[in-house]
Amino acid sequence: MSLAGKRALVTGASGALGAAIARRLAAQGASVWLHAHSRADAVQSLAEAIGAAGGHAQPIVFDLGDDAATRAACERLLQDGPVQIVVNNAGVHDDAVFPAMRAEQWHRVIDLSLHGFFRVTQPLLLPMLRTRWGRIVNISSVTAIMGNRGQVNYAAAKGALNSATRALSLEVASRGVTVNAVAPGIIASPMADAAFDAKQIAQLVPAQRAGTPDEVAALVGFLAGPDAGYITGQVISINGGIV
């Protein structure tokens, strides 16, 4: 599933999941742009690690919540040619039960997960379409499918992202571009480790363990590759059997 000659962007590459996805795409031969906002040092270190492993990656730092900054970053990305793989991974949690949720909590979560998808994908799409090959992978969540207390904002954002995935896939399928969403369940990370202990995970997850970022990255890597050209418009869960 070589991605040699393909240029990729992974948003939110400073986090555990984004970094795993970036490493996977680079290992498959893609040249990967690593997005971050506040953690520029993390994507710089990641780029160096990917380079040391024989891959090619470089950081790009911008505020995904800023229209002008994101537009300028996309123009920079396109200077060297089309970006044919876009992984919309960036997002944020800001949890509260709905009666106590502040307006800024609602808008911040919606803005990064949903509006961030638009800000990045829309300007990169037309150059991608002209190549008649492309892969857009949106990182959703099991929360969008099942719901979760205290995450009405997050469920709304990711649920809308799922719907956008399906609609966009219909627009671009005839041009060789696929659009899919990956919906992880409990994935090992500092955030998940703080929220769930081993006993809780065993009760919630039939597999009785958390998933790993590398397992999610393997799925993203497959969807980004040539063998997944007939898979589009799907929301694919990776959650250890949660139903």
Catalytic residue among 62, 106, 117, 154: 154
Q: Residues 134, 128: contact at Cβ < 8 Å? A: yes
Residue 154 annotated to the active site: yes
Q: How far is CA 38 from CA 13, 43, 70, 73, 113, in A?
A: 11, 10, 14, 15, 16
| 13 closest CA partner among 64, 79, 77, 55 | 64
Provide the token pair at 218.
Answer: 């393997």
Cβ of 75: how many Cβ atoms within 10 Å?
10
Element (H, E) at 139: strand 134-139
| 178 closest CA partner among 218, 234, 112, 114 | 234
Q: Are strands 7-10 and 85-88 parallel, antiparallel or unpaired?
A: parallel
The CA distance from 157 to 114, in Å, is 6
| 172 closest CA partner among 140, 138, 139, 130 | 130
- Residue positions annotated with a catalytic role: 154
